[in-house]
Amino acid sequence: MDETATNGLPRPPLEPATAPVVPERPTLDGLEGKWSALWAESGTYAFDRSADRSRVFAIDTPPPTVSGELHLGHVFSYTHTDTVARYRRMRGHEVFYPMGFDDNGLPTERRVQNYYGVLCDPGLRQDPSFVVPEKPEKHPVAISRPDFIDLCGRLVAEDEKAFEDLWRTLGLSVDWNHTYATIDTGARRASQRGFLHLLSNGHAYSTEAPTQWDVDFQSAVSQAEMEDRELPGAYHRLRFARVDGNGAVEIETTRPELLAACVALVAHPDDARYQPLFGTTVVTPLFGVAVPVLAHELADPEKGSGVAMICTFGDTTDVTWWRELSLPTRTIVGRNGRLKPVVWGDPGWESTDRTAADQAYGEIAGKTVAQARSRIVELLAAAGLMVGEAKPITHPVKFYEKGDRPLEIVSSRQWYVRTLPLRERLLERGRQLQWHPPYMVHRYEAWVEGLNSDWNISRQRYFGVPFPVWYRLNDEGEIDHDHPLVADESRLPVDPSSDVPDGFLEEQRGLPGGFVGDPDVMDTWATSSLTPQIAGHWADDPELFAKVFPMDLRPQSHEIIRTWLFSTVVRSELEHGSLPWAAAAISGWVLAPSGKKMSKSRGNVVTPLPLLQTHGSDGVRYWAASGRPGTDTAVDEGQMKVGRRLAIKILNASRFTLSRIAGGELPGPDAVVAPIDLAMLGDLARVVDEATAAFEGYDYARALERTEAFFWSFCDDYLELVKGRAYEDPSQAGPASARAALGLALSVLLRLLAPFVPFVTEEAWSWWHQGSIHRAPWPDVTEFPAAIVRGTVSGPEDSVLSVVAGVLGAVRRAKTTAKRSMRAPVARLTVVDDPARLALLAQAESDLRDAGGVIDLIMNSGPPDVGVELGEEDAG
RNA sequence: GGGCGCAUAGCUCAGCUGGUUAGAGCGCAGCCUUCACACGGCUGAGGUCGGGGGUUCGAGUCCCUCUGCGCCCACCA
């Protein structure tokens, strides 16, 4: 049975059917528990690493964030991937389908702090006597980073168990021998190894630079983690006096509190109004700092008065101006979001009126940005330095996507990956990737083209992967950032807060002439950008990694194209010089039943477990698989009910079909000779072709739609038409044809449906087969009767089946109109049609008589019409 | 401001390279109960495809334009 399928891979063997053993009353109840346990026990989805590389289909499964619960969106998109995985497995691929858990990062860190009542102090040494607090203390206990990470690990282990249970209930065909967590040893090793390679190849660097900073989280934030929010603000018009005494320059600003950080004014070089001012000097109001008036193209003559004040740093434009115009640094906003103390008169803080400056600044020092803003406006107004009233506006302000207060730009030391020089190569890689749906490539391209800074990968947090580097301290105790001491790869993973660099002793930590560890951890994307390497055991199992990388498929949602997909492409390009996968399948979002996006703040998040219990896993999967690739889909319990009904129908139709073919040997495909049987199988063969083509393009929804439509017509019409004939003497050609066709159709249909409704198809399959349907071969045209293989069966337009089904429909309509039972006999059926169609009808005349209860059948040539005369029902 | 996507029966959506009277499911209405399935079956009534223009023998299906919705990006003066 080891045939080669059209994709060049050996087909899995199709076990011959066994004598059917069908339960009296089939039920969906308990199928999830029964089959998920059996699949686990028999390793149905275990990856065979001895498989040839060409057979491997590897999936870069998205690791869900473990903080909190899985929601229906997860069920939705993971089902999509699972249908593809199951299809690939049946087509002869050895599917590498791991599962990860994203437990690295801020959300986990916050939960641990609250759950255990602890705070991480990276300055502390690991305490060997540390015990897990039973209850959170009133005041948080400070603990070392290794102990903190240990607690994080404990907490997420519980979540991960719950996740795995849900995934098994849903029927994901994941290989549970291949799991990882983004904070586990393997992930830390891979992250640190990847980082060291970036460092040694010159792709990573650290520098002190203006950094987007969340003042609450006290951490840097990368471009990808930022979002705009519309916030009310106001334009304040301020007057800067010219030092030559020739009047004043008026500027407009939404951030008057940064006046003390002003380092220049700027206008567009072509702006005639300000050209005479370029090169002159003005003085800041209140603080009396002399600043130049400069020209730069980014200044917009249309905005405000056409002149902007450049502060260090109000926004990213300020950073650009500061860099390109080589301006001095005069920062006043601290990392805590409050205004830092400043001594006017010190170098860099020269003022024409030191006393006034001190007095004004004293009013705002120590205040938050928002508080300082109101106060400074009062001071300006009181001093008559504001022109007119503030003009309220609404404008976009940058936030950390998880943050509550606007980002500030502070100066700090960070690690960066050089992505800006890669733009062209990354665009090329984007074009090489197969996108499903194809238009999703635009999101990637827009992002790459819009990159305006290198990728900041360091975060000032604790629960994350530490940078595997230390720094020497000179004799004055100053840190030498330019010559990091790196860990040897064989030692990874290391934690520089507790591990010691080679050649040093723990006693030298923090002392002049000694060393300090890098205090930061990596951005969560710096780790998750390596999911193919982590899942494939790049750092510790090169043989496995060679089998699975580059992977075949990255499934993910569209909103993280700019983060996860992008960063994975970057890392793969820099580490391996290749794409990380051949294709990316982008799923849409699940919307609340109202059609709105689900979010915790809206309180419309739908949890999956009750739905799985109510509609069954197959029912929920059916709903999920009906959602087109890349399309946002609303939660629809109606669709789940339909899915459940389909599952029940599969059980009953299988049972019924098996009752017809039971008893005696099932004839092979070439026993199918009756025209109507061949017509049905011809239709089915086309469905196989369509479903296969759809799956090849990752269009699982289309595959399901075609298969399901056929299945219902199979039940409604074909089964009704042949159920009588199939019961007749099996040694006769007619009954043998029906039985062979029924057996083949059921086998093919169950296999076509298996990726979508794995539980019910496995159940029905088990009634007449050994082994799992999920390791059976995907249906193939070679299984069909030779007549169909050669394509001699006509299309659905004029098939025996379609003509007969049409007449059967007319008979049913007549019975319904007459309010009679479907079992009512038809005394006389008169079919008028053209001779060709009548000839087709004649080929299935006895099946039609059986199914319709037809006594007399008259066929006349003429304009199409069906006349039905109902008879009296037998008393008996 | 730029880009992408979507607008087809009451609802959720199919309709692939343009071709006979536009499809499905849900919902709705009616009918049929024990011989696969009431966790059911059968039948039916509902759209002229967001508006306008164009190409074509022919357009829901291609082009232009307008409108509405959603998303992504953009230098917050």
pLDDT at position A876 is: 38
Q: In the numeric block, which tokens belong to residue A762?
A: 């496995």
Closest-lying nucleotide for A719 based on CA to C1': B36
Q: In the numeric block, which tokens belong to residue A171?
A: 């029927």
pLDDT tens readout for residues A359-381: 999 999 999 999 999 999 999 99
**ipTM of predicted assembly, 2 dp:** 0.92
pLDDT at position A314 is: 87
For chain A, give the percent of residues with pLDDT over 70.
96
Instruction: Calculate mean pLDDT across residues A402-409.
Output: 85
Residue A253: name the closest of A344, A317, A339, A209 by CA.
A317
pLDDT score of A6 more than 70 = no
pLDDT tens readout for residues A411-465: 888 899 999 899 889 999 999 999 988 888 888 988 898 888 889 898 887 778 9
Q: Residue A131 CA to B54 C1' — how many Å?
A: 78
Angle between helix axes A733-753 and A637-661 (nearest 10 degrees) is: 150
Residue A394 CA to residue A414 CA, distance in Å, equals 32
Between residues A585 and A876, the one the model is more confident about:
A585
pLDDT at position A137 is: 76
Residues 637-666, chain A: which have Cβ under 7 A from strand B? 638-639, 641-642, 644-645, 648-649, 652-653, 655-656, 659
Is any atom of nucleic acid chain B found less than 7 Å from the CB of residue A235? yes
Residue A106 CA to residue A400 CA, distance in Å, equals 12
pLDDT at position A68 is: 67
Amino acid residing at A388: G
Q: Residue A587 CA to B77 C1' — how many Å?
A: 40
pLDDT tens readout for residues A465-520: 999 999 999 998 889 999 999 999 999 999 998 899 999 999 999 999 999 999 88
Instruction: Calculate mean pLDDT across residues A152-170.
Output: 88
Most confidently modeled range among A191-200, A201-210, A412-421: A191-200
Chain B bases closer than 7 A to any CB of the protein: 2-5, 12-15, 24-27, 30-37, 39-44, 70-77
- Give the H or E element holding residue A374: helix A369-382
pLDDT at position A836 is: 85
Where on the phi/psi map is residue A168: left (φ > 0), alpha (ψ -120 to 50), or beta?
A: alpha
Between residues A306 and A791, the one the model is more confident about:
A306
State yes or no: cis peptide before A484, omega within 30 of 0.
Answer: no
Closest-lying nucleotide for A406 based on CA to C1': B76
Residue A297 CA to residue A317 CA, distance in Å, equals 11
Per the prediction, chain A carries an average pLDDT of 88
pLDDT at position A477 is: 86
pLDDT tens readout for residues A589-627: 888 776 677 766 666 777 888 899 989 999 999 999 988
pLDDT tens readout for residues A639-686: 898 999 999 999 999 999 999 888 778 899 999 999 999 989 988 998
Cα A781 to Cα A15, A668, A737, distances in angstroms:
17, 14, 18
Where on the phi/psi map is residue A704: left (φ > 0), alpha (ψ -120 to 50), or beta?
A: alpha
Q: Residue A559 CA to B73 C1' — how many Å?
A: 12
* Contact present, A602 and A596 (Cβ < 8 Å): yes
pLDDT band at A791 (very low <50, low <70, confident <90, very high): low
Question: Would you say the C-alpha torsion A246, A251, A257, A258 has a positive or negative sign?
Answer: negative
pLDDT tens readout for residues A507-549: 999 999 999 999 888 988 899 999 999 999 999 999 999 999 9
pLDDT at position A178 is: 93
pLDDT at position A16 is: 86
pLDDT score of A197 more than 90 = yes
**pTM as predicted:** 0.87
pLDDT at position A2 is: 38
pLDDT tens readout for residues A735-772: 999 999 999 999 999 999 999 999 999 999 999 999 99
pLDDT tens readout for residues A291-335: 999 998 888 887 888 899 999 888 888 888 887 888 888 989 988
Phi and psi angles of residue A487, each rounded to the nearest 5 degrees, phi first:
-75, 150
Where on the phi/psi map is residue A123: left (φ > 0), alpha (ψ -120 to 50), or beta?
A: alpha
Closest-lying nucleotide for A642 based on CA to C1': B25
pLDDT band at A1 (very low <50, low <70, confident <90, very high): very low
Is any atom of nucleic acid chain B found less than 7 Å from the CB of residue A115? no
For chain A, give the percent of residues with pLDDT over 90.
47
Instruction: Name the burial class of residue A79, with classes exposed (0-12), middle (13-18) and buried (19+) by CB atoms within 10 angstroms of its CB.
Output: buried
Residues 601-640, chain A: which have Cβ under 7 A from strand B? 626, 628, 631-634, 636, 638-639
Is any atom of nucleic acid chain B found less than 7 Å from the CB of residue A251? yes
pLDDT at position A25 is: 84
Residue A77 CA to residue A104 CA, distance in Å, equals 22
Is any atom of nucleic acid chain B found less than 7 Å from the CB of residue A255? yes
Q: Residue A687 CA to B58 C1' — how many Å?
A: 30
pLDDT at position A425 is: 92
Is any atom of nucleic acid chain B found less than 7 Å from the CB of residue A147? no
Between residues A396 and A92, the one the model is more confident about:
A92
